[in-house]
């Protein structure tokens, strides 16, 4: 397996164990690919759920730009809901998992389906 495949397997495990979500593996793969090389950088691969600035960045750069959600309050509510689903007590929140949760929360799977 490639390094990316190993990471996708780790993300799928996080979704099942921490989020109690059965992942759509094809969608998870597409979301992971969309994260680009950040998944290989230890710091960039994770999101700090306690950093308001980082959550605003997720809202602005992923939810609003990538997913096309135009209402900033609705976008931030979705980010907060995804953090709750992931579990605030989980120290390591993978970016790809959070993005997957956001994609399904907003029903924007079509953004990643070609």
Closest-CA residue to 80 (of 47, 108, 112): 47
Where on the phi/psi map is residue 51: left (φ > 0), alpha (ψ -120 to 50), or beta? beta
pLDDT confidence of residue 63: 97
Return the CATH number at 53: 1.10.238.120
Residue 82: other Cβ atoms inside 10 A: 26
Which portions of the chain are predicted below pLDDT 50?
none
**In angstroms, rounded to a whole number, what is the distance separating the alpha carbons of residues 38 and 28?**
15
Domain housing 43:
3-111
pLDDT confidence of residue 114: 66
pLDDT confidence of residue 1: 76
Count Cβ atoms within 10 A of the Cβ of residue 51 and give its class: 0-12 exposed, 13-18 middle, 19 or more buried: exposed
Residue 33: other Cβ atoms inside 10 A: 13
Domain count, the chain: 1
Q: In the numeric block, which tokens belong to residue 88? A: 């605030």
């Amino acid at each position: 397996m490639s390094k990316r495949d190993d990471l996708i397997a780790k993300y799928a495990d996080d979704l099942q164990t921490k989020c109690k979500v059965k992942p759509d593996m094809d969608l998870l793969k597409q979301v992971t690919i969309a994260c680009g090389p950040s998944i290989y950088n230890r710091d960039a691969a994770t999101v700090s759920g306690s950093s308001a600035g980082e959550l605003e960045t997720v809202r602005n750069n992923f939810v609003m730009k990538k997913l096309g959600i135009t209402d900033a309050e609705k976008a931030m509510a979705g980010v907060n809901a995804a953090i709750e689903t992931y579990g605030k007590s989980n120290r390591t929140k993978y970016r790809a998992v959070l993005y997957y949760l956001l994609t399904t929360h907003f029903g924007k799977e079509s953004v990643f389906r070609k």
